[in-house]
Amino acid sequence: MRDETPVLIVGAGLAGLSTAVFLGIHGVPSVVVERHPGLSTQPKARGQIPTTMEALATAGIADRFTHAAPPGGERSVIVIAETVTGPVLKDLVLEMPDFSRLSPAMFAAASQERAERILTDKAAELGADIRFSTELVSFRQDDETVIAELRDIATGKRRTITARYLIGADGHKGAIRDMAAIPVHGRRSSRPGRTMFLQFEADLDVALQGEAFGLFYLQNPALPTRAATVVTTDYPGRYVLAAPFEPGDDPDAEQLVDVVRTACGVPDLDVKILEIAWSSSGEHLTRVADSFQAGRVLLAGDAAHLMPPTGGQGGNTAVMDGYHLAWKLAAVLSGTAGPGLLASHDAERRPYADALAEQQYANLIQRQSPHLRDGTEAEILDPAVGLFGYICPSGAFVPEDGDQPSLFENPVTPSGRPGSRAPHVRLARGGTPVSTRDLFGSAFVLLTAGGRHWTGAVEQAVHRLGVALDLHVIGDDAGLADVDGLFLAAYGITEAGAVLVRPDGVIAWRSRGAGEPGNLERALRHVLDRIIP
């Protein structure tokens, strides 16, 4: 029997499920296959940054993530310390900047365990067919399709499925990247190791100081590997200790209790071991694919980029991979865009993955493994710059003349350049607060303060290209008031100018002044890989 689907997604983790959700909001169904019998029961990554919450809001599920946090989960203890009970070497919460001027969204503290369930429910609601205990055995591709062979792990039955595109979201141990013959690069360890994830119960309320969430980066020579991480879970009194171990080093139950007591700094702590899981990234400390695309195969999440967890960006980047990729796939599948649009997935996301992997590695050195410092590590960026200031060096946008900017800018003083994040500007509609960021997610958007000049250009582009394009006029008499008077400066245009923003909130093109109305259509053709007459 042969199935057919526009998109086959391999892997039901954060990357695969997010891609299915965001494809769904653009009207594209998908088949998601996962070799495990169900979703993960490990807490794994926790936390969603404002940019991720903005993306989730476009799918209508941001509130579900907020509510999935433990009670009081907005309050937290995040420290670098010798043990869970101290002494504290550095309090990272005290260094957390206020991002309210950069995003209308707040942080959320949902665990990966709960996040995946929210995404699964939403993906299914939007038409995704999610199949557990199903593995991809092989695939081949031609100019039109990907033909994949799947195997039901429970029965051994095999079936073929034909897709227009295949998304490799099968994690850092996945096989699709290798099947597609995509090399990798990154930092390697001198000794391959394993990481133990130990769930345990204990009374550590004294360390939490009444807060609901705790993350403790430990630097302690008394630990077997000098470093470990202890993090709270969704269940009060239950914790996860993550620690690297050498291959073949398998501590017994008594030794594990001693490790927990050492990590917690309480020699006589009453500890109940619940579950042990092991993970190995082999010799890789960081690993990024040399390309995120091979023909009709595209990579997302840990299959594309592996990085240390220090900084919490692995899971967030996995979600955002799906967000930035889905609208492009939808446009190509609908015929609105040419296939060249998909080349921008690699051009835009891989440089960011490279930079982020280096940031996470630098955080690893600062927070847990200072012995790895050798002068080659990156300088740690201001969090606001790293999270909001990325500028794509190339991709699906119309570049402007002038020097190529660096990969990052200060988002507090945005340039408005094509390839950068469209800035958050506070607006109001009938007295109700609105952000420019709230206007993005489902269609292209043209922002301007001079509506009459651009109305005809928008109508022409929609008629000739069949593209979804919304016009928003910002001004006190236009329905969207500029609360702080910052819109024109933030986007670098005059009152007669306009800015074209992609469905994923990235600036695609701008006209600083009135310009020619036909320039809007030409810009869209450039972005969408359509023939420019």
- Classify 360 as helix, strand or coil: helix
CA distances from 167 to 2, 175, 391 (A): 19, 12, 24
Concerning whether 323 is annotated as a catalytic residue, the answer is no
Q: How far apart are CA 424 and CA 427, in angstroms?
A: 9
Exposed e or buried b per residue across 99-113, where buried means at least 16 C-beta atoms within 10 angstroms of its C-beta = bebbbbbebbbbbbb
Question: Pairing between strand 444-448 and 469-473?
Answer: parallel
Q: How far apart are CA 452 and CA 448, in angstroms?
A: 10
Q: How far apart are CA 342 and CA 327, in angstroms?
A: 10
Would you give the DSSP letter of residue 180?
A: T
Q: How far apart are CA 178 and CA 53, in angstroms?
A: 32
Q: How far apart are CA 334 and CA 342, in angstroms?
A: 13
The angle formed by the CA atoms of residues 207, 210 and 212, to the nearest 5 degrees, is 95
156, burial (CB in 10 Å: exposed 0-12, middle 13-18, buried 19+): exposed
CA 365 from centre of chain: 22
User: Pick from 315, 321, 297: which is nearest to 20 by CA?
Assistant: 321
Q: CB neighbours of 526 closer than 8 A, spacing ≥ 6?
A: 398, 509, 532
Phi-psi category of residue 156: left, alpha or beta, with phi > 0 → left and psi -120 to 50 → alpha: left
Per annotation, catalytic residue among 217, 352, 361, 390: 217
Q: How far apart are CA 114 and CA 104, in angstroms?
A: 23
Q: Tokens standing for 237? A: 């009194």
Q: How far apart are CA 342 and CA 340, in angstroms?
A: 5
> 14-25 and 50-58 are packed helices; what angle lies between their axes, rounded to 10 degrees?
40
Beta strands in 65-124 (DSSP E): 76-81, 88-91, 108-111
CB neighbours of residue 477 within 10 Å: 7
Q: How far apart are CA 43 and CA 234, in angstroms?
A: 8
Tell me the catalytic residues. Answer: 217
